Homo-oligomer: A and B are copies of this chain.
Amino acid sequence: MDKRIERYLLRVDLSTETVRRETIPETDIAMFLGGRALGDIYLYRELAPGIEPLAPENKLIFGVGPLTGTSAPGNGRYIIHCKSPQTGLWNGSLAGGHFGPELRKSGYDMLIIEGKAEKPVYLLISNEGARIKDAGFLWGMDTFDTQQLIKEELRDQDYRIACIGPAGENMVCYAGVVSERRIAGRGGCGAVMGSKNLKAIAVRGTNEVRIADQNAFKNALKLASSDLSSNPDMVKGFAVYGSAMAMPTMNEAGITPWRNWQQGCSDKAVNLFIQTWREKYVKKDVLCHSPCPMICSKLVVAEQGPYAGVLTEGPDYETLYSFGANCDIDDPTAIFAVDSLCDKLGLDSISAGLSISFAMECFEKGIIKPDETGGVDIEFGCSDLLPKLIHDIAYRRGIGYFLSMGTKKMSEELGHGSESFAMHCKGMEIGGYDPRAAKSVALVYAAGARGGCHKAGGGSNSQSLGEYLTGDKRFLNEGKAKICFDVRKKKIIVDSGVLCSFTAGAYKMSTIMELLNASTGYDWSEDELYLISERGNHIERAFNVREGLRKSWDVLPDRLTKESVAFGPTAGSTVEFEELLDDFYRLSNWDLETGIPIPDRLRELGLAEIAADMERY
């Protein structure tokens, strides 16, 4: 126990302009580790049920974990918790880069932001604590200019900054938080920052990140290194192609949605494959934070054509899906342009792309009429529409005002059966893997705590998608709940570490355990870590139950359960959901009738207060 390291959080109340350092209780570390699970319990404890997500009562929790800022490959990530303005539910949103490690080096494992500033402000955090600074001059700026201008104002180019763009200022419900060229995109944490008049957080930390047992940590790093060496194809795949590497396989398997999920593959896909365009457009392989052998960011520049001069880091598979395949656009440079624009304006590219593809289908079906779009024909394949639509979303003007509401509210307003192809779960637009083609993904989307996310609810592009290799077995429900559950179990630990899920995809659980034990001075077994994971999973669920979520909310869009695609390897397949869900509830220790975490199990996990809460529903 002596070796254990004290960990602190910084609490900033923007309403009262007060800043306080608090010790994170040892018991919280023991039960919740850090990052995701630790943020979960703080969010649960500190937010009253039913608050408005954009009211001062919501909080933002920026969290890192015991591995952040260490020399463990994949250590450069942070997580932002809040109540989501998009779903009204739990939200935890991750991003890579230097911001997390810098926050940790300033001496804090968590930053809790409360209240609302009277005027635009930014936070300045250093080893000495935090100051609230005027951000009037930054309001209206995009996220790249904001970072640059803060560095200039502070006359120190080494600050690491997380900030919002115009989309966050205007409280678009799917606005994200951007640091460097990376966005914590999903769930609208950028809108919450905007609602608090908080433009940015600038951090400069120079403390050493302490490790409880240096020798043990060195040994654990050797294990990590060996795990990475044992997965050369995976490491190389990310290093050469990034997450976009998946598209050829996914398209071939009928997993990549096209035309707002009306197709599962397309002949045009080859134009979107990074394998096709890497040589022409990728300028550099970029590491988000050292060390990491994955180097998964691809810096691309269009040198010619209508989008000449555009630079972006990415696009990831998801953005190639959301704005590309799903809008039936196969010009990769158009996707580069909107990827860059989403980062600059601070918009989630999945929700933005799906809101647009949903409008395209409504336009195609005559549910949206030409005179309702400001004279623009919002048609599939029209890449030249995208930049203006995205601007209009960020500024919530014209047709962009409608698109900024997201597919759930758009479809509720439109009616005419559009709800069946509004591709969201619980208000969050879903990722680019079709559950009709790989059944475990249905649970990732429909039973995930933050809605239709392909990551938080499991991990749809790692183990679960190994399904596509199983031949016709991928169309069966059998064993699929277990796949989703196992991925989520590990994912919550990875997100609590905090480790990058790409890098950690190569790590054995025993390696993660050794890394965590060496860095913290604890002596967790794998099973004990899984208990921490289960706590996180329950708390996220309990948070949502408190907000009204029941079993009936765990559903997929009708298109996935009632329609099948017309051609390709997945033609004829739909999701039969009931059976999948029951299996998953059983594994999760959630009540089969209600979907509420089982109180007795919560008590076994030391979550008596939450158990008592759950018994009230």
Binding site for B on A (CB under 8 A): 136-142, 144-145, 148-149, 151-153, 157-158, 165-166, 283-284, 286, 299, 301-304, 308-309, 311, 344-345, 391, 394-395
Contacts and interface: CB of A to CB of B under 8 A. Distances in A.
Given A138-B283, A395-B304, A309 B158 contact: no
B157 A301 contact: no
Given A144-B144, A309-B345, 20 more contacts: A137-B283, A137-B284, A137-B299, A139-B301, A140-B302, A140-B303, A141-B283, A141-B301, A141-B309, A142-B309, A142-B311, A145-B301, A145-B311, A152-B286, A157-B158, A166-B308, A308-B391, A308-B395, A309-B391, A309-B394
Contact of A299 (B149, B158, B165, B391): B149
A139 B281 CA distance: 11
B301 A140 contact: yes
B344 A309 contact: yes
A311 B149 CA distance: 11
A460 to B, nearest CB: 31
B140 A308 contact: yes
A615 to B, nearest CB: 50
- Among A137, A142, A151, A308, the most chain B Cβ lie within 10 Å of the Cβ of A308
Contacts of A301: 139-141, 145
Contact of A151 (B136, B141, B157): B157
Contacts of A302: 140
Nearest to A155: B290
A285 to B, nearest CB: 10
A587 to B, nearest CB: 44
Contacts of A309: 140-142, 165-166, 344-345, 391, 394
A303 B151 CA distance: 21
A45 to B, nearest CB: 38
A165 B152 CA distance: 22
13 contacts: A137-B283, A137-B284, A139-B303, A140-B301, A141-B283, A141-B309, A145-B301, A145-B311, A148-B148, A166-B308, A304-B395, A309-B345, A309-B394
- Among A141, A284, A309, the most chain B Cβ lie within 10 Å of the Cβ of A309
Contacts of A303: 139-140, 166
Nearest to A394: B309
A394 B310 CA distance: 13
A149 B144 CA distance: 13
A157 B153 CA distance: 14
Nearest to A290: B155
Contacts of A394: 309
A63 B165 CA distance: 39
Nearest to A284: B137
Contacts of A166: 303, 308-309
Contacts of A148: 148
- Among A153, A157, A311, the most chain B Cβ lie within 10 Å of the Cβ of A311
- Among A139, A286, A301, the most chain B Cβ lie within 10 Å of the Cβ of A301
A296 to B, nearest CB: 16
Nearest to A136: B283
A309 B301 CA distance: 21
A302 to B, nearest CB: 7
A193 B80 CA distance: 45
Contacts of A141: 283, 301, 309, 311
Contacts of A308: 140, 166, 391, 395
What 6 pairs across the A-B complex have the smallest Cβ distances? A157-B157, A140-B303, A137-B283, A137-B284, A140-B301, A145-B311
A153 B151 CA distance: 18
Contacts of A153: 284
Nearest to A345: B309
A283 B136 CA distance: 7
A398 to B, nearest CB: 11
Contacts of A145: 301, 311
Contacts of A395: 304, 308
A290 to B, nearest CB: 9
A289 to B, nearest CB: 12
A158 to B, nearest CB: 6
A125 to B, nearest CB: 18
A513 B304 CA distance: 51
Contacts of A157: 151, 157-158
A398 B391 CA distance: 26
A607 B124 CA distance: 58
Contacts of A286: 152
A308 B387 CA distance: 13
A341 to B, nearest CB: 9
A601 to B, nearest CB: 48
A288 to B, nearest CB: 11
Nearest to A287: B152
Contacts of A151: 157
A299 B140 CA distance: 12
